[in-house]
Amino acid sequence: MKSKLYSVVGMLLLTSFFVTPSLFIKINKIECESQYGPCNKEVNDKLNSAKGKRMYFTKIKLHQLLKNEFYIKEYQMHFNLPATYKVNIIERKPVYAITNNTKAWFAQIDRDGYVVSITDISNLPFIITENEVPPVGGKVSQELTFSLEMLSLINGKYQVKSGMIKDNSLFFAIKPFAGVIFPLEGDKELSFAKLVFITGTAENAISDYTNNISLDLRFKNPVLRKM
């Protein structure tokens, strides 16, 4: 009778181990990779704080750490035998920047409009503005988002690296004009299409006169005016 009881208990314990391994396996290694390669030391140090716990508790801890880390936009993780968690993350990547007239600092912004970092220098295309810029982790205003997205279009087509917000308008130096003026809201694609069409014709038709001519795209019909 006792032998049967021991067998049943043994089978239950063995079954529970395979059914709920998260209650038995202790995680002793956490591997992390981003879209750029191995995760940086700061991220690795945080994730490694979850080591040494049972699989179930490590998983909960990793979720907490990853969800609360601003620099991590997306993540996935999975368990590898014998006792490893593999974590794959997508880091937020700055694609343009905001500065003021002094250019003493640059707020680097990702495509979602969030401030990723504040730096002394930046090689990214930038907008000059006196408007308030949020701290790291904050999201820029709709006006700045519009300006940065317009900058992205213009930089891709004309390799213009900077623009300026002034007098509630957006200014770029785009040849053959002395300046091109955009609104700070509306249909970006339409304004950009007008710019492409007009610069294509103006370069041949009125290039001799455009050194001091601005193109104003704030209105339904584009306006050429002498500066």
* CB atoms near residue 108 (< 10 Å): 23
Q: How confident is the model at residue 17 (pLDDT cuts 50, 70, 90)?
A: very low
pLDDT of res. 40: 86
189 inside domain:
yes
Cα-based angle 6, 12, 15 (whole degrees, multiple of 5): 135
Helix axes 142-158, 188-205, angle to 10 degrees: 40
Please tell me whether residues 77 and 99 are part of one structural domain.
no
219 inside domain:
yes
**The residue type at 32:** C
**Over pLDDT 90: what percentage of the chain?**
63
Please tell me whether residues 110 and 198 are part of one structural domain.
yes
3 inside domain:
no
The tally of domains found in the chain comes to 2
pLDDT of res. 216: 94
Strand ranges for 56-198 from DSSP E: 72-80, 84-91, 94-99, 106-110, 115-119, 126-128, 162-166, 169-172, 179-182
Rounded Cα distance, 97 and 99, in Å: 7
* Region of poorest pLDDT, from 4-18, 20-34, 199-213: 4-18
Q: Which domain holds residue 107?
A: 94-226
Rounded Cα distance, 175 and 171, in Å: 13
Give me the chain's average pLDDT, please. Answer: 86
For the domain that residue 177 is a member of, what is the CATH number?
3.40.50.11690
Please tell me whether residues 144 and 160 are part of one structural domain.
yes
Please tell me whether residues 164 and 99 are part of one structural domain.
yes
Region at 31 (left for phi over 0; alpha for psi -120 to 50; beta for the rest): beta
Convert the pLDDT of each residue in 101-117 to its tens digit. Answer: 999 999 999 999 999 99
Check pLDDT > 80 for residue 202: no
Rounded Cα distance, 99 and 121, in Å: 10
Q: Could you tell me if 164 and 128 are in contact, meaning their C-beta atoms sit under 8 angstroms apart?
A: yes
Boundary-marking domain end, from 91, 110, 129: 91
Please tell me whether residues 222 and 111 are part of one structural domain.
yes
14 inside domain:
no
For the domain that residue 83 is a member of, what is the CATH number?
3.10.20
Convert the pLDDT of each residue in 32-64 to its tens digit. Answer: 999 989 998 888 999 999 998 888 899 999 999
Boundary-marking domain end, from 91, 122, 138: 91
pLDDT of res. 60: 92
Please tell me whether residues 202 and 119 are part of one structural domain.
yes
For the chain, give the number of residues: 227
Please tell me whether residues 31 and 60 are part of one structural domain.
yes
pLDDT of res. 21: 58
Check pLDDT > 70 for residue 12: no
